[in-house]
Amino acid sequence: MMKSEGLYASQGGPIILSQIENEYSIVEAAFKERGPPYVKWAAEMAAGLQTGVPWVMCKQDDAPDPVTFVGPNSPNKPSIWTENWTSQYQVYGEEPLLRSPEDIAFHVALWIARNGSFVNYYMYHGGTNFGRVASAFVITSYYDQAPLDEYGMIRQPKWGHLKELHAAIKHCSINLLRGQQTIYSLGDKREAYVFRLNSRKCAAFLVNRGGKDTEVSTQNSSRSMIRGKILDGWEEFIDHIPNYEDTTLKSNTLLEQITTARDSSDYLWYNFRYQHQSANTKALLKVYSLGHVLHAFVNGVLAGSAHGTHQNPRFTLENTVSLNNGINNISLLSVMVGLPDSGAFMETKGLGLRSVSLQVQQKQLILTNSSWGYQVGLLGENLQIYTDQGSSKVQWNKFSSSRQPLSWYKTVFDAPAGDEPIALNFGLMGKGEAWVNGESIGRYWVSFHTTNGIPSQTWYHVPRSFLKPTGNLLVILEEEGRGSPLSISLDTASITRV
């Protein structure tokens, strides 16, 4: 399709490089003898398209000719660096992993000095995982520490230092392309890479791996969030907790969540009806989940919550619950926090509940293969109460500070003046999702703290393109019931230059 539109450089278009497959080598061993033939087939298929530009296979050491990889694995292939990470994407519950501008620039310069042909940054511009597009446990803010941050604002000195390096490389590009390379040892951990075009023109890279780091001389800056108006006028709606009788989808086993929900919602209700005939009201509920979050309700009352982590999404909820003498409704809400993002046999990866049991006195009741009723999504989701039209389908009440799980909150606000980037400060909220004028600004999980005891993300980006001058509808789903919207403010991002 791109070839038919004339988009390749060989046709006068902007595309100078194409990639077939991405890091397939990570999963290749899982496919045993079928892996190498697939690599060969994919490379031949790509090259056979005759686009007139090079093809690359990222991290594929056995990439067949003429497809290249980062190595290269043949003297007639260029050295291509496809993913130079400027930081690292962050996940809920973990600290950000940062790279200094000195480290990034040093390795870019060293790559070019060693005859590297191409460097691609991942990411050069941060962004926002709007809606539910973030992968498992990844925060809504994505690569905010890139040279251009989540809001498109310049991060100094990272942006300026790399800009000056790029300019220096471009300035001596003729020497790099046509000059003769000579490598000189300058003593312990020091060397020079010299590209000499003639007796008067050369370019040299001086490498010093010893000593101490020195700070770069470009301008520094810091970003601050300026506290804005605290939003008020909140109304609330408590979502419905379904019983077994409310459900239309039934099964005599625990269904896998990804397949059942079909990416239409993060939420899947598992509902069971249990006849209890004993004066002893206490029982031990034990639920094993493949991930990611679980909220257990017994007769409409929250009986416990648990969640996994990015490193280990699987977990077990084990709580003592209170039962009625008679029929009891056990409603288990399994919650996804993004789809799995990598690995072999993706079609076999599962989420949701795997086993459920009740221990009543000394009797262990295995409920896994009992009759279960299912509901995909929450009532508020299915009615789209985060839109103007859907909001009118339920009865909203004045905010009561009751802090119940599965609470929906709504208010209306005006857009702040100016053109600075804006974000909602969710500092005292729990976990859920937020919508502005029907557009999801992403999941939030403020209650999942890092090892330093702080939220992984507090501010959530609201693009000004989502807003009207006045009367903007904000709807928040507070899943845990731990957060209060009374402290939410609409803040602006500002750069302070140093």
Work out the number of other CB atoms within 10 angstroms of the CB of residue 214. 8
**In what side-by-side order are the strands of the sheet with 202-208?**
180-185, 190-196, 202-208
> Cα–Cα distance between 172 and 181 in angstroms, integer?
13
> Cα–Cα distance between 162 and 488 in angstroms, integer?
37
Report angle CA 236, 474, 241 to the nearest 5 degrees. 40
> Cα–Cα distance between 309 and 320 in angstroms, integer?
23
Residue 23 among the catalytic residues: yes
DSSP labels for 324-340? -SEEEEEEEEEE-SS--
Q: Of 23, 164, 191, 420, which one is the catalytic site residue?
A: 23
Task: Say if residues 63 and 376 touch (Cβ distance below 8 Å).
Answer: no
First-to-last CA distance in the chain? 48
Cα-based distances in Å from 456 to 19, 477, 478, 483 = 33, 19, 17, 16
Q: Of 5, 21, 33, 83, which one is the catalytic site residue?
A: 83
Q: What dihedral angle (degrees, nearest 10) is formed by the CA atoms of 274, 278, 283, 286? A: -30
């609409």: which residue's tokens? 490
Residue 245 among the catalytic residues: no
Catalytic residues: 23, 83
